Structure 1
Amino acid sequence: MSLFAGRRSARCFDAPTLGSLSALLWSTCACQESAETSLGFAIERRGAPSAGAIHPVHVLLCDPAESRVSRYNGKRHALQLLDVAWPHDLIESCRSVVPSDTAWIVLFVAEFGKTAAKYEDAFSLILRDAGVLQGVMAVAAEALDMSFCLLGLTGDPWVSSLSEEGKLRGVGAALLGSRA
């Protein structure tokens, strides 16, 4: 219980190590098992719960040292480099909330169609899924002695522009790094 008593949002960051980043993503977002459904996609068991085991919230990571954006692939436990323009305005918005040149920016990106394929009130469920994932990541970061700070930003309109069909929406942003 001391983990919860001592958890605080951190505002001082060094760049995260690949080992700590890997441990954080494995414990919170990695697919532990999956099952096919009639919905057109598999349901998954991961460290963070999700309504219907659908997991519609993807994690994007912006590495400021390399000016690149990656998507975490939970089935392969790997970062996949995205071929997208560096989100200058979004990075500056994040840095205006909590200044840091070394923290990685974590974007929570919802794929609304997945939850809507099963549930009528998909919007509410997706917001809850995003909140649960963010909370689980905050606790896991504390356990791994990492700095983690949720920001009051969604990541939009940059996130929404990633899909021409409007299938993606930003549902949160955070800063992540090693303890300074």
Structure 2
Amino acid sequence: MSLTEDPTPLGDTAFLEYTWPVVSSKVFEVGEVAPTRTLADVIEHRRSNRVLAPASLEQTVGALLFALRPRFWKEGDSLKRSRRPSLSAGALHPITVLLFQERAVFRLNAELSLLERLQFSDEVYSAWVSKCQSVLPEANGTFLMLVADMARPNSAYANSESLVWRDAGALLQTIALVAELFGLGFCPLGILGHEVVTELHSDGQLLAVGAAVIGLRPEARAADSNQ
């Protein structure tokens, strides 16, 4: 893979997706959007929030599903192209989101609206959360990690990695706007998480491409406690 060479389409070639170590799964619903919010309002009020409290799993997953789930699938397509809120090179959407919350690691399977609990060591979980908290000590929310499965991009493009990095930035921006739409706080982190990907034993197929935290802003938590 190269970040200096332009990507070149290869056509629709065969690929094998990574098999995630799922131990259990649960269906979640997409969260309801506040009808009074406009796009202009969301854009003007979006901020990076560095002081956060935990939101419920239902709130967090509901918002993330709104940001990530496919709205349209290309029928009969071998590369499973889809249309989603975030742009993606070739409509491939190779990035999945992992959630670190409640001493567990989850994968959001946006295609099936499933939250999948993954088999993960306590040591790697603790080390990753501690690393995130060292960056944002007052962010006590759900830590997110963006992981790209390179099988599809590599089957569609030569030198595909630059496209995946572009997708990661677009996805972070989309989640940031959706968090604001749902009244949640959000902040990207300047770390990647290669040590977490190593735990997944993918033989280089998975690539850590970003991290963030999502949760309740202080004013939202105060309003909830006063009700």
Q: Above 0.5 in TM-score? A: yes
**Which of 134, 147, 155 pairs up with 2:193?**
155
The within-5 A match list for 1:49-60 is 49-60=87-98
The within-5 A match list for 1:31-180 is 31-35=70-74, 36-38=76-78, 41-63=79-101, 66-86=102-122, 87-100=125-138, 102-180=140-218
Hey, which of these two has a bigger chunk of strand by percent? 1
CA distance, structure 1, for counterparts of residue 58 and residue 86 of structure 2 = 20
TM superposition outliers: structure 1 runs of 4+ over 4 Å: none
Q: How many residues were matched structurally?
A: 176
Runs of 5+ consecutive residues of structure 1 not aligned to the other structure: none
**Which of 56, 70, 75 pairs up with 1:17?**
56
CA distance, structure 2, for counterparts of residue 158 and residue 78 of structure 1 = 21
CA contact (8 A) 1:154 1:170 kept: yes
Note the C-alpha offset of 1:75.
Answer: 1.6
Runs of 5+ consecutive residues of structure 2 not aligned to the other structure: 1-39, 219-227
> Bigger CA drift: 41-50 or 127-136?
41-50
Secondary structure of 1:117's partner?
A: helix
CA contact (8 A) 2:51 2:139 kept: no
CA contact (8 A) 1:12 1:179 kept: yes
CA contact (8 A) 2:139 2:213 kept: no
Say yes or no: does 1:2 pair with 2:38. Answer: no
Secondary structure of 1:110's partner?
A: strand
CA contact (8 A) 2:51 2:140 kept: no
CA contact (8 A) 1:160 1:170 kept: no
Q: With the length of structure 2 as denominator, give the TM-score of the two structures.
A: 0.73
CA distance, structure 2, for counterparts of residue 15 and residue 175 of structure 1 = 10
Root-mean-square deviation (CA, aligned residues, Å) is 1.6
Note the C-alpha offset of 1:120.
Answer: 1.5
CA distance, structure 2, for counterparts of residue 50 and residue 160 of structure 1 = 25
Question: 2:22: which partner in 1?
Answer: none
CA distance, structure 2, for counterparts of residue 129 and residue 115 of structure 1 = 11
CA displacement, residues 127-178 of structure 1 (integer Å, 9 cap, x when unaligned): 0001000000001111111010100000112223313422111100001101
Question: 2:67: which partner in 1?
Answer: 28
CA distance, structure 1, for counterparts of residue 65 and residue 133 of structure 2 = 26
Larger C-alpha radius of gyration, 1 or 2? 2
Question: 2:37: which partner in 1?
Answer: none
CA distance, structure 2, for counterparts of residue 83 and residue 166 of structure 1 = 19
CA distance, structure 2, for counterparts of residue 73 and residue 118 of structure 1 = 22
CA distance, structure 2, for counterparts of residue 15 and residue 137 of structure 1 = 17
1:77 maps to a residue whose letter is S
CA distance, structure 1, for counterparts of residue 42 and residue 71 of structure 2 = 24
Q: With the length of structure 1 as denominator, give the TM-score of the two structures.
A: 0.90
CA distance, structure 2, for counterparts of residue 62 and residue 90 of structure 1 = 9
